[in-house]
Structure 1
């Protein structure tokens, strides 16, 4: 099959399993700010911007006015008590192939820049073009994140229909679809049916499976 012109990657749930890293930071920040244990994280919040997640947690105890304070404290804890996320299968194989063949690729995430920078450094990942939530006026599900990344990689609007976007959340899938790109689902938290209903053209268990499907070995 003909390869896409470029590959755009979400980070959490696609490149790494970072649930514990984020949960630890949310939990410690929530405990420090409110002296309460944090409630469980609902799946429907996956992929949302950190500010929206902070607002959700605050709303569970009627403290929405503290949303920004929780957001800032969580970001501080995420950096101070940084937990290296777990690398998911296929990432190194995929990025090594793309680099060797001069196929543009990069990350556009709703995670914060510092977390992405720390993770890329500690895992020695081969990503040089990385965008985080502070880089957009409107985070996912708005398409700005992927449009920003695509343009930074040298693509024009006419190229967008030839770009694959790997996403594990419905939020990010909508962002890719609305950007006019090709969403490809990764089965981290949603089912194949849910991802396809949101707009994913294909669905894979991991990036390794997608890599093998493209016969890049």
Structure 2
């Protein structure tokens, strides 16, 4: 098969399982700020920006005006109590393959830059370009994250249709589609039907399965 020109990766749910890392930081920050337990995480906010998630948690207790305070405190807890996320299958294989083929690739995530930097360092991952939520004016589901990453990798708009974007969330899939790229679903949190309805052109169990598809 003819390989795509480039590959863009979401982080949480595609490269790593970091649900526990983020969950612990939200919970401890919420407890410190409001002295009460946090509400369960809503699936509807999966893949959303941390600020939107902070607004949701604060809205549950009528404290919307303190959302930015919670967002900043959560980021602090995430850094100070850093928990190395679990690497998902296929990450090292697919990045080694892309590096060998000289195909540009990178990460564009709604996670904060410090968390991404810590994770990439501790897991010794080979991602030459990493974008986090502070790099965008409009996080996913807006297309800015993937357009910015593709531009940083020296692609032009005419290349976008030949770029694969690995995503596990509906917000991220929408972002890739709006950017004019090819969303590729990863079955971490959504069903194949949900991902395809959102725009995924192919769906894989994980990056290992995607790597096997690309190299067979």
Alpha-carbon deviation of 1:72? 0.3
Indicate the residue corresponding to 1:81 in structure 2. 81
Q: Deviations 1:149-208 (Å, cap 9, x if unpaired)?
A: 000001000000000000000000000000000000000000000000000000001000
Q: Deviations 1:123-169 (Å, cap 9, x if unpaired)?
A: 00001100000000110000000000000001000000000000000
SS of equivalent to 2:215: coil
2:55 maps to 1:55: yes
Indicate the residue corresponding to 1:168 in structure 2. 168
Which whole-Å CA distance do the structure 1 matches of 2:86 and 2:199 have between them? Answer: 27
Q: Deviations 1:67-87 (Å, cap 9, x if unpaired)?
A: 000000000000000000000
Indicate the residue corresponding to 1:180 in structure 2. 180
Which whole-Å CA distance do the structure 1 matches of 2:197 and 2:128 have between them? Answer: 32
Alpha-carbon deviation of 1:22? 0.2
**Structure 1: 4+ residue segments shifted above 3 A:** none
Which whole-Å CA distance do the structure 2 matches of 1:18 and 1:128 have between them? Answer: 20
Which whole-Å CA distance do the structure 2 matches of 1:28 and 1:38 have between them? Answer: 9
Indicate the residue corresponding to 2:8 in structure 1. 8
Indicate the residue corresponding to 2:133 in structure 1. 133
Which whole-Å CA distance do the structure 2 matches of 1:15 and 1:40 have between them? Answer: 24
Alpha-carbon deviation of 1:100? 1.3
Which whole-Å CA distance do the structure 2 matches of 1:202 and 1:210 have between them? Answer: 9
Calculate the aligned-residue CA RMSD, in Å.
0.6
Indicate the residue corresponding to 1:202 in structure 2. 202
Runs of 5+ consecutive residues of structure 2 not aligned to the other structure: none
SS of equivalent to 1:51: helix
Alpha-carbon deviation of 1:25? 0.2
Alpha-carbon deviation of 1:101? 1.3
**TM-score, reference length from structure 2:** 0.99
Indicate the residue corresponding to 1:212 in structure 2. 212
Indicate the residue corresponding to 1:112 in structure 2. 112
Indicate the residue corresponding to 2:193 in structure 1. 193
Q: Deviations 1:24-52 (Å, cap 9, x if unpaired)?
A: 00000000000011111011100000000
Which whole-Å CA distance do the structure 2 matches of 1:77 and 1:178 have between them? Answer: 33
Alpha-carbon deviation of 1:215? 1.6
Which whole-Å CA distance do the structure 2 matches of 1:166 and 1:100 have between them? Answer: 19
Alpha-carbon deviation of 1:20? 0.2
